[in-house]
A and B are shown apart, each in its own frame.
Chain A
Amino acid sequence: MIGFIIRRVLAMIPVLFLVALITFFLMKQAKGGPFDQEKEVAPSTIALLNRKFGLDKPAWLNTAEFNNRMSADGPFAAVRGLFDSQFGNYMLNAVQGDLGPTYASKGTETVQDKIKQTFPISLRLGLISLTFALVVGFPLGILGALRQNTIFDYFSLIISTIGFSVPTFVTGLVLLLVMSKVFGIAPIKDPSVWEGFSMSYFPPAIILGLGTMAYITRLTRSSVLEVKRQDYIRTAKAKGLGDRVVILRHILRNSLIPVITILGPAVAGLVTGSFIIESVFRVPGIGSEFIGAIGSRDYSMIMGSTLFFSLLVALGNIMVDLSYGLIDPRIRNS
């Protein structure tokens, strides 16, 4: 078990490196830089900024520096010189936990500061939303499957279709307006509500979780339907086991596997927020930081957020693999 975890964690390293490599490559293909404004900044100032943030260095390999140091300081220093490039320096700093300055703030803030500041809020929001998705989605799916083609099944179908197909900027605004007009809950909250868990998290969390809830509902339903028709269920029933035992011990447990499988990526998606929901409910979360970075060519923010998201997905998948073992002894022993 411990060996398995260590292996999986080590396997994350090349994955993250590849993600960084590809992201950096794509990012450099896009035209324009972080200091290109619609209204132009003086070229001398751009040069200063580029130098300040090391953007005057080559993107990948600094061969000039390699040759310099090769003749002056020998091969060891030369190799370091070769990687004195934008990518090399970024990776070197990233390994030490420094994800670089955000260019939007003119370098006055770091990416890790931004993540530290906004992620806890998105994490709280994401966890509530995940709980909502599971608590509503799972029972709804089971109900639909056990009472297939009845009114319960149709109800479950309608809810999940709405959850899946209506975009969040519609559901979000509708909920906000209903709260405001019908219940008199004003849209602007004091900023302090986001500091710990508070009621203000619930409306955005529900909207955020709708899609996942719908997906879990449908997945659970089809999974339960499949398990229901397995031979071992017939056997269990033939042995004379009661419905409750058959459902709880045999059907539910076995139909959990596909649901668990999607949970890894789903959790990563939920805890990294959503730009639209953050905008409608004014949540100071991480989603808008992620999204804004690309348009503004905020290089270190793009790299930092992509790596952070990849890390979360990778961790989510490890958790999923571990929980398979808990649920299904066949997987544990193999």
Chain B
Amino acid sequence: MLKRRLTRLLALMVLTVPTLAACGAGDATPTTAPAAATATTATGAEATATTAPVAEATATTADATAEATTPPAATDGNILRVHQVAYPDVFDPQKSSYSAEIVLLSQNYEGLTRLNDKLETVPGAAEKWEANADGTVFTFTLRPDLKYSDGSPLTSKNFAYSIQRTCDPVTAGEYQSILFDITGCADFAGTTITDTAKYDAAKAALGVSTPDDSTIVISTVQAAPYLPTIAGLWVMYPAKQELIEKGGENWWKDPAAQVGNGPFQFSRIAEDQQIDFVRNENYWNKAKLDGISMIYIDDSSVALEAYRTGQLDIFAPDPSQIPAVQSDADLGPLYISYPGANTTGLQFNTTKEPFNDPKVREAFAYAIDRDTFCEVIRNGDCLPTLTWIPQGIPGYDATEDRFAFDAEKAKAALAESTYGSAEKLPEITMAYSSNDTANQARHEFLANTFREVLGVEVKLQPLPSKDLTAAKKDNSTYPQLSLGGWIQDYPDAQNWLSVFWNSNATFAQRQGYGNPAVDEFLTKADTSTDDATRLEAYTAAQKLIVGDLPTAMMYNRVNKYVINPRVSGFSKTAADDQFPGQWTSYSIEIK
């Protein structure tokens, strides 16, 4: 899923850069999705720009005043008050794409399956499912007597509608292609709306049927063992057809139209301010909280002050605030951070000189001091990694240790390259998004590293984020060097490897990467119905990819929060980019 957008960041940049250029902002949205996509965290970024300096001041004054001990307990009972940075643009299940939107939908709705506290796919609205022998037909059986929060019955037809609406060319949701594994979905999405005969035929040809109210059968174009995980994604949340049709395009802004089947139910939507949920009493696994309030504060200093005055239970600090928060006597012990479901690396254009030479890529991979980069340059906002799939996600390879920082090996690799020495290399440019002011320092650090370790002068090229995105769309314009990576859509190695690194995937093609041996492993893994076989093949593919060095793996950004001690029962998963325990919020408690 996508994370925040950068637009507001840009805005702030326009307004404040002259004064603040030097004061490192938060997370960047560097280049492509991943990097950019920063979760909540990124959010902080924007706020940062405006407030970083003052933020620190805040922290110190607070220390000085000292009367701020632990944050006062809240008075409004059993409601979890969560800090959110940017207000989402659209939270319609079949149209949303950003993680700040999805976190709302996942409270209000539940798919056929859901994720547990280990990010495994477990029964959601469906109590069980089975695949046919070749893994192309999936039969889901719903739990008995499912009800929406308003008491109306929830049937398999509601789920069939969600698939149909996602694939519908009229809806044109940005994530419709995630269901293209379902038979007929891509065809339906490709029909011309005005050609009603074709449109109706394509709609009828969708590979979804509902033999009875508690059974839904989904067929796929080819074996897709990860389909049950996809069946838990937001695009398959069963928003009610009659309410969508009655409400018109902006039906989703009305809590009364967002009747859901999740652990909580929208109760108030106050735009740009706050979104409230109450517990859904009809949910099969009744939540412990009375409700959740999402409170939108895009200025991180204001959010910190709101936390100190006891108006928030969970505060998502901006990267620039981390040192002050960690050293704060009150907040330090309450600060938690753990790896997120994203990976960023130094991406090479493997078809352009000099990075078409694997030895040059190797030299650059060895030259990066990832520990210093994360701890010092990014304030501990990330954890170094040498592999692609992050810790906590199925497919993580804990044994990967190639290309760790080693200046000698870096120099040796460069000497072994066809160029032989730094002087013989052609001009090298590293592009980055100028939308986040913090990016400059980060890239200067990298350029400095390459100068000191390899003796290579890397030219930095700041670009507006949209320009960089445009340049990265095609291999011929893809920068020689840039930071980028992936943010998970769903916790299956298929989403990490096949969607990105298969030689027919656009992402791999842009970097000019393709390895038939990798493709072979991926195809085997994607179509196998045996979990062990799949994992083995994915691991083998990942080893090859990391070794081929289309990207020098660098870091995973962390999920980081300050949590009031009265909150308990939350799980910590890599996919918590909005708040800890967001995927299993029914188990969260307040003392």
Partner-B contacts on A (CB < 8 A): 30-32, 35-42, 44-45, 48-49, 52, 104-109, 113, 117, 167, 169-170, 173-174, 176-177, 180-181, 184, 186-188, 190-192, 194, 275-276, 279-280, 282, 284, 288, 291-298
Contacts and interface: CB of A to CB of B under 8 A. Distances in A.
Contact of A44 (B16, B177, B250, B301): B177
10 closest cross-chain pairs (CB), A and B:
A39-B33, A32-B466, A191-B270, A295-B10, A295-B7, A42-B177, A291-B11, A191-B273, A284-B272, A38-B36
27 contacts: A37-B174, A38-B6, A38-B469, A39-B33, A39-B36, A39-B487, A40-B473, A40-B507, A41-B174, A41-B177, A44-B189, A45-B172, A48-B189, A105-B90, A107-B249, A108-B92, A108-B95, A174-B54, A187-B305, A187-B306, A188-B295, A192-B270, A276-B12, A284-B270, A291-B11, A294-B7, A295-B465
Contacts of B47: 279
Nearest to A53: B172
Contacts of A32: 466-467, 469-470
A106 B252 CA distance: 12
Contacts, number: 193
B169 interface: yes
B274 A293 contact: no
Given A38-B29, A44-B190, A279-B50, A187 B7 contact: no
B347 interface: no
A109 B269 CA distance: 15
Given A106-B174, A107-B249, A31 B467 contact: yes
A141 B95 CA distance: 55
A284 B95 CA distance: 23
A136 B2 CA distance: 47
Interface string B27-67: 00101111111000000000100110010001001000100
With most chain B CB atoms within 10 A of its CB, the pick from A169, A184, A186 is A169
A118 to B, nearest CB: 8
B536 interface: no
Contact of B16 (A177, A190, A276, A295): A276
A52 to B, nearest CB: 6
Interface residues of B, number: 79
Given A106-B95, A279-B47, A37 B33 contact: yes
Given A39-B2, A39-B34, A279-B47, A188 B16 contact: no
A293 B174 contact: no
Contacts of B8: 275, 288, 291-292, 295
Contacts of A177: 58, 61, 301, 305
Given A104-B89, A284-B273, A294-B7, A36 B466 contact: yes
B302 interface: yes
Nearest to A102: B89
A37 B2 contact: yes
B173 interface: yes
Contacts of A169: 16, 50-51, 54
B32 A38 contact: yes
Contacts of A188: 295, 297, 306, 311-312
Given A169-B50, A188-B295, A279-B47, A294 B174 contact: no
B503 interface: no
B433 to A, nearest CB: 9
A48 B172 contact: yes
A48 to B, nearest CB: 4
A184 B68 CA distance: 12
Given A32-B469, A169-B50, A276-B16, A39 B302 contact: no
A173 B189 contact: no
Nearest to A49: B172
Contacts of B309: 180, 184, 186-187
B497 interface: no
A282 B10 contact: no
A192 B14 CA distance: 31
B16 A282 contact: no
A279 B44 CA distance: 12
Contact of A106 (B90, B270, B312): B90
A216 to B, nearest CB: 23
Interface string B168-202: 01101111110010000010011000000000000
A296 B12 contact: no
